[in-house]
Structure 1
Amino acid sequence: MATAIKFFQLNTGAKIPSVGLGTWQADPGVVAKAITTAIEVGYRHIDCAEAYKNQAEIGSALKKLFEDGVVKREELWITSKLWFIHWPVSMKRGTGEFKAENLDHPNIPSTWKALEALYDSGKAKAIGVSNFSSKKLQDLLDIARIPPAVNQVELHPGWQQAKLHAFCASKGIHLSGYSPLGSPGVLKSDILKNPIVKEIAEKLGKTTGQVALRWGIQAGHSVLPKSTNEARIKENFDVFDWIG
């Protein structure tokens, strides 16, 4: 049986779980149950962001799990994101909607300096970025005292980002993939209906989602499937103990 890849070691020495629960568009009122189900199933990585507007409920759910002895805080990897680093843009003063005409050039060096201080304080196991291109990563590396440990971007069999993958590998930056099953609603990609993925899934006796997630892990990056459905949350975590 193939060796299960349950963690990836970052350039800080910290180990990031290979499968995390995404919480983008996980609405308040349902996200707490999703978090609880995921932790009980075995997830140890929860992917969050201030922009998702559900972190308060996630925090309350995690606090209860800690108090009930289901899991310890030190056993979890919790990712969060702030603006400029969630996307390498800023918003023009007085605007609030994420539209091209409202975007401005951010002061990434000052934001990164603040993150470096956070890492120095010991409050973060690693610091990283999201949605950065190779050029923006190189620009950051040119001024960074502490290099980014992770770059979180859209990654799945239909959008493999080979050049970015190679660049990050050469710089010791781990790639973490959001929308690993595609995103038919927003990003107009649906890997679950991809004929090649379907063929492989039928051959292995697995679902197309499991095949797509396993592809990501074997490609060397962590995957962040989002779901609030109990059965799907369990299915998305069942990607280790079979030969692919």
Structure 2
Amino acid sequence: MDSSCVATSFRIPEQVLTSSGQRMQLLGFGTAAYPLVTPQVAKQAILQAIKLGHRHFDTAYIYGTEQPLGEAIVEAISLGLIISRDELFITTKLWCSNAYGELVLPQLRRSLQNLKMEYVDLFLIHWPLSLKPGRYEFPVRKVEISPMDFGSVWAAMEDCQRLGLTKSIGVSNFSCKKLADILALAKIPPAVNQVEFNPLWNQKKLREYCKANGVLLIGYSPLGASGTLWGSSRVLENEVLKEIAKAKGKTVAQICLKWAFEEGVGVIVKSFNVERMKQNLEILDWSLSEEERKRIGDLPQSRGCTGESFVSENGTFKTIEEFWDGEVGLHFHSKK
């Protein structure tokens, strides 16, 4: 059985990465589960996602899902769901405790071992800071946060790409200022900046900056990451979004994902529930009206994922505003 035999009506739009020419589905399948799930649950969800047509998978060293993802891909090939690993676009990330020049390559090699792969398609710096080496936990110990040496870490990321261990490199959770710092010293510019993105935090300024510099913005928490340490139900419970969803006969989640697509932004969406997986893919044969898009565009803006885990009075980043270089939104409110 080859991949053309997979029963799916979903044809997910793709985007070409400027820096490498790779094709990447704009709807990525996320594997950051909170509360944590067993490796078997993660593996089965990933297999189901492959059956439904997902070919872009997002993981990270700190998520603990690299190994289940790798095992799911091996099984998908053996079942004939895909012909080879080359049909997939795989992203993983450098955790902060390995964000030191000499530790970047060893972590990527460990990630590849977990994934049972010779390369990933995209390797991202997870957050713009360093932690004490050897710590793999979240929330982090704030006293162990230190500024990242962008020069040595980015040079090591570039080495990873030159060695063929990753096709592209990029960053995650970088403000315009921090992205500018990387661009100023990069020989290979970042292909992607993966950040929080949803109707209540539309990243207008950062999107414009990324576009002007050939960096693709990919959004996580497009539905607000309800039920996680870093998210809330504010997106799914928003009255305007609920009204639009009701009028359209769609779910709020579908409205959010369709809006992201129409804004030209790729998103990472995580659901291990099969029915919701299918619903998340049923966004390709209808459109939002100009009036609906305007109502969404007029929503008050503030961060949901504030980065408070990395902020402390006596630490490297003393306020949330400092951590994001002022990019917190006009209607920002700190979560207590």
Sort the TM-score into its range (normalised by shorter chain).
over 0.9
Is 1:54 matched with 2:65? yes
What amino acid is the match of 1:87?
A: W
Secondary structure, aligned partner of 1:183: coil
Is 1:176 matched with 2:187? no
Secondary structure, aligned partner of 1:190: coil
What amino acid is the match of 2:93?
A: K
Which string of whole-angstrom CA distances, capped at 9 and with x for unpartnered residues, describes residues 3-45 of structure 1? x870122112212211011100252231111101100001111
What amino acid is the match of 1:101?
A: V
After superposing the two structures, state which structure 1 stretch, 104-113 or 15-24, moved more. 104-113
Partner of 2:15: 8
Provide the C-alpha distance between the structure 2 equivalents of 1:190 and 1:226, rounded to a whole number of angstroms: 17
Is 1:88 matched with 2:142? no
Provide the C-alpha distance between the structure 2 equivalents of 1:94 and 1:60, rounded to a whole number of angstroms: 25
Aligned length: 241
Partner of 1:243: 287
What amino acid is the match of 1:237?
A: L
Partner of 2:239: 195
Contact 1:183 1:190 (8 Å CA) reproduced: no
Contact 2:12 2:27 (8 Å CA) reproduced: no
Deviation at 1:107, TM superposition (A): 2.2
Partner of 2:206: 164
After superposing the two structures, state which structure 1 stretch, 83-92 or 227-236, moved more. 83-92
Deviation at 1:162, TM superposition (A): 1.2
Partner of 2:255: 211
- Of 5, 16, 26, 1:18 maps to 26
Secondary structure, aligned partner of 1:126: strand
Contact 1:92 1:102 (8 Å CA) reproduced: yes
Q: Could you list the runs of 5+ residues in structure 1 that have no partner in the other structure?
A: none
Mapping of residues 98-117 of structure 1, within 5 Å: 98-117=140-159
Deviation at 1:94, TM superposition (A): 6.8
CA distance 1:5–1:65, shift in 2 (3 Å): closer
Q: Could you list the runs of 5+ residues in structure 2 that have no partner in the other structure?
A: 1-10, 100-124, 289-336
Across the aligned residues of Structure 1 and Structure 2, the Cα RMSD in angstroms comes to: 1.8
- Of 78, 81, 101, 2:90 maps to 78
Structure ID, larger Rg: 2
Contact 1:95 1:102 (8 Å CA) reproduced: no
Is 1:40 matched with 2:51? yes
- Percentage of pairs with the same residue: 43
Deviation at 1:199, TM superposition (A): 1.5
Which string of whole-angstrom CA distances, capped at 9 and with x for unpartnered residues, describes residues 37-60 of structure 1? 100001111100000012111111
TM-score normalized by the length of structure 1: 0.92
State the structure with bigger RCO (CA 8 A, min sep 6), 1 or 2. 1
Deviation at 1:209, TM superposition (A): 0.4
What amino acid is the match of 1:86?
A: H
After superposing the two structures, state which structure 1 stretch, 102-111 or 92-101, moved more. 92-101
What amino acid is the match of 1:77?
A: F
Deviation at 1:240, TM superposition (A): 1.1
Provide the C-alpha distance between the structure 1 equivalents of 2:136 and 2:85, rounded to a whole number of angstroms: 34
